[in-house]
Amino acid sequence: MTSDSIDIINAFALLTNFVLLPALSYGSQLALGALAVTLVYSVLRFSNFAQGDSMAFGTMIVILLTGFMISRGWTISGIPTALLVIPIAIVFTAMYLLTMDRLIYRHYRKIKAKSITIVMSSIGVMFVTGGIVRFVLGATAQKFEDGERFIFSVREFKAYTGLEQGIAFKTSQFLTITIAFLLVAFVFYFLQKTKTGKAMRAYSDNKELALLSGIDPDKMVQITWLLVAALTTIAGALYGLDKGFAPQQYHLLLLPIFASVIVGGIGSPIGAIAGAFLVAFSEILLTYAYKKFLIYLLPLSMHPSSLVQLIGTEYKYAISFVILVIVLLIKPTGLFKGKVIVDE
């Protein structure tokens, strides 16, 4: 180890391993959740507080189905079984969300309730959903990842490149980034190019005029929940594959997800994604300990003795809030001109 000289390549290999890849996959997971919140806001006009717990619900179904598949030996070597059951899990989650809509949200739409009333009812749905998940799976954390764990491991990377600092690329990270990209591309294609997607945007833009154009509101609401179910289940499953599943953790995901949506501009899909990556990178960049990174970059005499960590990881949720406050103070409509929440 040449610790007295400056070593840029190893410094950035280190950053890639501990900041870039984790932030990219965390950002992708948040992006899917944020996109779901944005869709619900655009079409149904309320901020869905049940999003985090709905992700837990979707993941619960994935875990149950994964367990069932493994017990039957229905697995494909190398591929996480969770991936195989996601389509079925989406169907179950969609049924659950549509049931909640039928039982609760539809009533408030019918009586033209204020947005804040529906938000409050979504907090109720949040608690019920979280309760169901804890009732079925318990409150403890669990892992459900099987198959190949790494695309390449630290050891393989080191052997291949000869670098001192290794980079591991986890299968879950690879899947997260790839699937999130494809799914986001699909959602954008759907909204921009298909007749139904355009009708959804039209309904979101101007309900009365959509009605006058013959667009069926019930159908728009159903399609929204179907999309939300897909985004929610996939986001939850990918997050769980990456970091393990714990109901409380999912519940708290609501905070960075809401921060992403508001930072990006409420109701703006592209903003939700940009916001998600901004939040993810801020969280990880600010809570990362830069000691080793600086040792690679600085001459021996300037090596830091402390961890050089700006904020302790236990405060990572506070970062979302700080970003939120700054954005609301400086640019309340968010980075991509979103809507300011008002009751119409």
Partner 1 sequence: MAYLEGKNLVASYGVVPILHECSVEVEKGELAVIVGPNGAGKSTVMRVLLGMLNATSGSVTLDGKDISMLSTQDRISHGLAFVPQTKNVFPSMTVEENLQMGGFIRQDDINETIEEVYALFPILYDKRKQLAEQLSGGQRQQVAFGRAMMTKPSIMLLDEPTAGVSPIVMDEIFSNILDVRNAGMAVLMVEQNAQQALNIADKGYVLVSGRNEHTGTGKELINNPEVRKKFLGG
Q: Which residues form the interface with partner 1 (CB under 8 A)? A: 195, 198-199, 201-202, 205-206, 208-215
- 86: tokens are 């996601």
Task: Decide whether 134 or 207 has the Cβ nearer to partner 1.
Answer: 207
Q: Closer to partner 1 by CB, 198 or 316: give it.
A: 198
Q: How far apart are CA 16 and CA 171, in angstroms?
A: 16
What is the Cα gyration radius of the chain?
A: 22
Nearer to partner 1 (CB atom), residue 142 or residue 194 = 194
Distance CA 13, CA 222 (A): 46
Of the candidates 67, 88, 75, the residue with the CA atom closest to the CA atom of residue 148:
75
| Cβ closest to partner 1, residue 166 vs residue 265 | 265
| Helix then strand then coil, % of the chain, to nearest 5 | 75, 5, 25
- Cβ proximity to partner 1: between 51 and 204 the closer is 204
Residue 130 has a CB neighbour count (10 Å cut-off) of: 21
Smallest separation, CB 46 to partner 1 (Å): 19
> Do residues 275 and 34 make contact, with C-beta atoms less than 8 angstroms apart?
yes
Q: How far is the CB of 111 from partner 1 (least distance, A)?
A: 16
CA 280 – CA 169 distance, rounded (Å): 18
DSSP H/E element including 150: strand 150-152
CA nearest to 24, candidates 179, 156, 231: 179
CA angle at 136 for the pair 92 and 62, rounded to the nearest 5°: 40
Nearest approach, Cβ of 264 to partner 1 (angstroms)? Answer: 15
CB of 208 or CB of 314, closer to partner 1: 208
Shortest spacing between CB 182 and partner 1, in angstroms: 25
Residue 212: CB minimum distance to partner 1, A? 6
State which residue, 209 or 326, has the beta carbon closest to partner 1: 209
In the complex, least distance from residue 193 CB atom to partner 1, rounded to whole angstroms: 10
Give first-to-last CA distance, the chain, whole Å: 65
User: Which SS3 state, helix, strand or coil, does residue 97 take?
Assistant: helix
Question: CA-based angle 46:249:232, to the nearest 5?
Answer: 45
Nearest-approach distance from CB 342 to partner 1, in angstroms: 15
CB of 149 to partner 1, least distance (A): 44
In terms of CB distance, is 202 or 297 closer to partner 1?
202
Q: What are phi and psi of 141, to 5 degrees?
A: -75, 150
